Amino acid sequence: MSEKSSNWPEWLPLRQELRSRTPYGAPQVSADSRLNTNENPYPLPDEVSSSIAREISLHLSELNRYPDRDAVKLRAAIANYVNAFVRPGGDLKSGNIWPANGSNEVLQTILLAFEGSVAGFSPSYSMHPLLAMGTGKRFEMIPLDSNFSLDLDAAISQIDLLRPSIFFLTTPNNPTGRSIPQNEIRLIVDAVSKHGGLTIVDEAYGEFSEDPSALELLDTTPSLIVVRTMSKAFAFAGGRIGYAIAREEVISALQLVRLPYHLSSITQLAGVAALSHAQELLKEVGQIKIEREWLSSQLRSLGFTVVKSDANFILFGGFKEVTAISGWSSDQLWRELLDRGVLIRDVGIKGFLRVTVGLPDENRRFITVLRQVISK
């Protein structure tokens, strides 16, 4: 039986809601330019990889022992980074931080710890509903408007109706790239907490945005959990480190359900070493933003509709499902690009595709290939 099959044998006591599902994930096909999973395209600088290698080699003989279960050094290093770069002058301590193997695991841990139903906007990060399902929770979607913007009044009425225990808000949003302004975040967090709910602000792409982090609301809002990751701006997707930032009570609650020793010693050592080079790791963020604007203007000049992005990817449309500009449907175009070595992402929004900002050469290649295809 293939990994993706949904013909499950009767004897397998698989949960009913999983029977029709396939595992989440972007197609792992080889392509010359892989612009589909919102990674940072720049390799780690040599000094950072040497520093990680040195740290790990110094402690290799200790792999007979379990890692620090509470990842104290890594949590302190993350708190220092957040106090220096995310909310300068902040005084977060390691007790305000919970790291795990990528922010997906952090989100799953939150859903395991708290009861009740979950809600969030749509379209948004498709793992949020999947994680809710995996942890046995109902997920209610509140649609964004046709421009992928938030209708604040409608959203707050829906929150009042649904009274979710956990509300997901992603800013900048994936797959649209749009940010939600701070005052609107505050109103949503207040609406959710009025009914006793927690709001998770997923800031996986926060470093690419000019907007301040929702962390500024933490002093006045105990029901807020900000989740960030080292996978995107930090160029550390393979290192698998994401983290929650919240009040100490919230972090203590997460520890009730975390697996013992969930973060390997190697991950912890690598994370601490990488964070000691935060400045160098983030140095390409500016270049990625310049390339994002270049790609957006090129796509516009080719006649596509471009959603303004604050992240390291761009959602663009104008396909024949929606308008007749390009004469191509989004899935046809996706395939034509792949046949020419450029892999982007069909995120399942009719008439739109998402491209991750790559290296300058990859971005130029994408535009050249796109121009060739649509002028065929």
Ligand X SMILES: Cc1ncc(COP(=O)(O)O)c(C=O)c1O
Q: Considering only the stretches 50-58, 98-106, 283-291, 335-343, report the one whose residues sit in contact with ligand X under the rule CB under 6 A.
A: 98-106
Q: Considering only the stretches 42-50, 67-75, 99-107, 282-290, report the one whose residues sit in contact with ligand X under the rule CB under 6 A.
A: 99-107
Q: Tell me the closest approach of the beta carbon of residue 242 to ligand X, in angstroms.
A: 4
Q: How many residues bind ligand X (CB under 6 A)?
A: 13
Asked if residue 99 binds ligand X (CB under 6 A), the reply is no
Q: Tell me the closest approach of the beta carbon of residue 145 to ligand X, in angstroms.
A: 20
Tokens of 267: 């991950």
The residue within the footprint of ligand X, chosen from 36, 103, 108, 179 (CB under 6 A), is 103
Residue span 341-370 as binding mask against ligand X, x where in contact by CB under 6 A, dash where not: ------------------------------
Q: Tell me the closest approach of the beta carbon of residue 129 to ligand X, in angstroms.
A: 13
The residue within the footprint of ligand X, chosen from 36, 40, 158, 229 (CB under 6 A), is 229
Q: Tell me the closest approach of the beta carbon of residue 230 to ligand X, in angstroms.
A: 7
Q: Tell me the closest approach of the beta carbon of residue 311 to ligand X, in angstroms.
A: 8
Q: Considering only the stretches 60-68, 75-83, 102-110, 270-278, report the one whose residues sit in contact with ligand X under the rule CB under 6 A.
A: 102-110
Q: Tell me the closest approach of the beta carbon of residue 111 to ligand X, in angstroms.
A: 13
CA distance 117 to 282: 36
By DSSP bridging, strand 224-229 and strand 118-122 are unpaired
Determine phi and psi for 181, rounding to 5 degrees.
Answer: -60, 150
The residue within the footprint of ligand X, chosen from 202, 207, 291, 310 (CB under 6 A), is 202
- Comparing CB distances to ligand X, the nearer of 94 and 103 is 103
Asked if residue 285 binds ligand X (CB under 6 A), the reply is no
User: ω before 181 within 30° of 0 (cis)?
Assistant: no
Q: Tell me the closest approach of the beta carbon of residue 307 to ligand X, in angstroms.
A: 15
Closest by Cα among 350, 348, 282, 357 to 313: 357
Residue span 17-56 as binding mask against ligand X, x where in contact by CB under 6 A, dash where not: ---------------------x------------------
Q: Tell me the closest approach of the beta carbon of residue 364 to ligand X, in angstroms.
A: 24
Asked if residue 231 binds ligand X (CB under 6 A), the reply is yes
Tokens of 254: 């997460």
Asked if residue 237 binds ligand X (CB under 6 A), the reply is yes
* Cβ neighbours around 215 below 10 Å, total: 21
Q: Tell me the closest approach of the beta carbon of residue 229 to ligand X, in angstroms.
A: 3
Asked if residue 102 binds ligand X (CB under 6 A), the reply is yes
The residue within the footprint of ligand X, chosen from 36, 40, 51, 104 (CB under 6 A), is 104
Scan for tokens 């899935």, then name that residue. 331
Q: Which residue is nearest to ligand X (CB)?
A: 102
Residues 166-195 that bind ligand X (CB under 6 A): 170, 174
Residues that bind ligand X (CB under 6 A): 38, 102-104, 125, 170, 174, 202, 204, 229, 231, 237, 242
